[in-house]
Structures are given as structure tokens and as C-alpha cells.
Structure 1
């Protein structure tokens, strides 16, 4: 239960904080006048500035969204260009590898031809040298060695037959064999 308080009791309780009715009316009128001045001249420019700021922020959001979309487009273009460059690089590497293999095959084929040519020339040269050495042996050394051997077997000097180079050797006539007693006397 609330007990109503008398005005004097309220005045005593609040002491110096108790408002006088005239001060209360003047304060209320002053507050109303201040609110009217603020609503009439101060608040409209502030509201206008707030609206402008809101429009600027919305424009910045739209610009940021457009910039983000542009950046996404640029990123997609970059990814496409990089993919194209990678594809082209793969093609170039494949083409270079094919050229390298073709050049290697060409060089190997040339080397095989050169090897075969050198082997053929070397074989021919070896055959010519063999024939030259064979002729020299048959023309010079074999008759001399045969004459030396015949001289030892016969015990007397045998002349080396004279031959012109390149002429086939005449068959050497081997003298009849001596008996063992004649051979024993020679040694």
C-alpha cells in the first residue's frame, strides 16, 4: 500500500532539490524552445549530411562490388592466359623434342653412313697394305730366306734369284734330299 505524501512532506524530503513551480514552467518552456530550434535549424543539415554519407557509403559499396567483379574478371582472364601459356609451352616443348629427336636421328644416320664409309675405306686400305706387304715378302724376303735356307741345307752359298717387283715368283726347285749321313756332316 502506497501512502500519498503531502506536498510539504515532499518538499522536506527533497530539500533544495525541490523545484519551484515557476522554475519548472520556465524550464519546460526553455526545453521546448531548444527542441524547436534544434529540429528547425540544426537537425535538417545533420540529417542531410547523414543522407549524403549514406549515399557515399552505398556508392563505395557498389564501387567495391564492381571492383571485386572486375578483379574476378581479371583473375579469370589471368588464369585463362596462364592456361594458354602453359598449353603453348607444352606444345613448344613437344615440338622442340620432336626436332631434337629428328636431328639426333639425322646425325646418327650420317654417323652410320660415315662409319660405313670409313670401314669400307679402311678395309680397302688394309687389303692394299696386305697385298703390298705380301708382295714385298714374296719379292724380297722369301727369296732371300729361301736362299739362306738352301745355303744351310746344301752347305754352299746359293745366289738369291733376281726378280722384278710384281712378277709372280717362279717355282723354286728344291734339290734332292740328302741322306742322313750327308746331313750330319754339314752340321
Structure 2
């Protein structure tokens, strides 16, 4: 083989050193490299997984909040509807009460007008009688006597007119 022929002692030493280096690499350096690669993979993929988990939790929370918001809107609509119905009932009651008060005021006013009319009519009956006697005296040219008799005549006349 010439100059490439290996010396058996050197070959043996080379093989021992090679296996020793291989053992050191396999037992010490390769586990460290593997650990480092695992940490790096966990850091990148783990963050992605954690980000996915956080996104899923956020979506769940968002869905729950939307559900609560929808429930609150529904409840608010129900409360508005109830308030509208109660308002309509109250308005109807107030209108009815106003109509009752109006009817009572009209009845009181009509009664007061009837009372005042009766008083005015009674007062005017006496004055009409006196004025009729005075007018008759002026037409005749003499004062008329017997006022009591004249009053009865005037009252009979007025009674036939109002009846």
C-alpha cells in the first residue's frame, strides 16, 4: 500500500479516540443540543399553541359576552314594552278621571246655572209685575190702585206663559 499503509498502533489509538469522542458527543453534547432544540421548538410552537388557546378562550369569552348583551337587550326591550303598556294604562285612567271630573264640573255648573236662573226668574217676576203695573198706569194716565190684585193678575199671566 505504500505510504498509505496505517500503523496498527496508530489505527488502534485513532479508533479508541474516535469512539471516545463519539461517546462524549453522544452522552454530553448531543443531549444538550437536543434540549436546546426542544426548548426552541417549545418556545416557538408553545407560543403558537398558547396563542391558539388564548384566542379560543377570548372567542369563548366574546361569545359569552355577546350572549349576555343579547339577553340584556332582550330584557331592556321587555322593560320598555311593559313601561309603554303601563303608560297607556295610566293615560287611559287619567283620561277617564278627567272625563269624570269634567262631567262632575258640568253637572255642578248646570245645577248652579239652574239655581241662578230660578233665583233670577223669581226676582224678575216681581219686578215685571211692578213694571207692568207702572206701564199700565202710564198708558191709562192714572195711578192704578189695588196692587195685590194686580200682582195676582200678573202672576197668573206669567204662570200661563211659562207653563
Which TM-score applies when normalising by structure 1?
A: 0.61
Q: What corresponds to 1:151 in structure 2?
A: 137
Matched, 1:124 2:111: yes
Residue 90 of structure 1 aligns with which residue?
A: 77
- The alignment's C-alpha RMSD in Å is 2.7
Larger of the two Rg values belongs to structure: 1
Show the counterpart of 2:128: 142
Between the two proteins, the alignment pairs up a number of residues equal to 131
Specify every segment of 5 or more residues in structure 1 that has no aligned partner in the other structure, as ranges. Answer: 1-35, 164-168, 174-187
1:69 equivalent to 2:56? Answer: yes
| Distance apart, 1:121 and its partner CA | 1.0
Shift of 1:170: 1.4
Distance 1:152 1:50 in 2: 142
Matched, 1:170 2:156: no
Q: Which residues of structure 2 form unaligned runs of 5+?
A: 1-20, 156-163
Offset at 1:44?
Answer: 6.1
For residues 63 and 102 of structure 2, the distance between their equivalents in structure 1, rounded to whole angstroms, comes to 57
Deviation at 1:123, TM superposition (A): 0.8
The answer to whether residue 29 in structure 2 is matched with residue 52 in structure 1 is no
**Greater percentage in helix:** 2
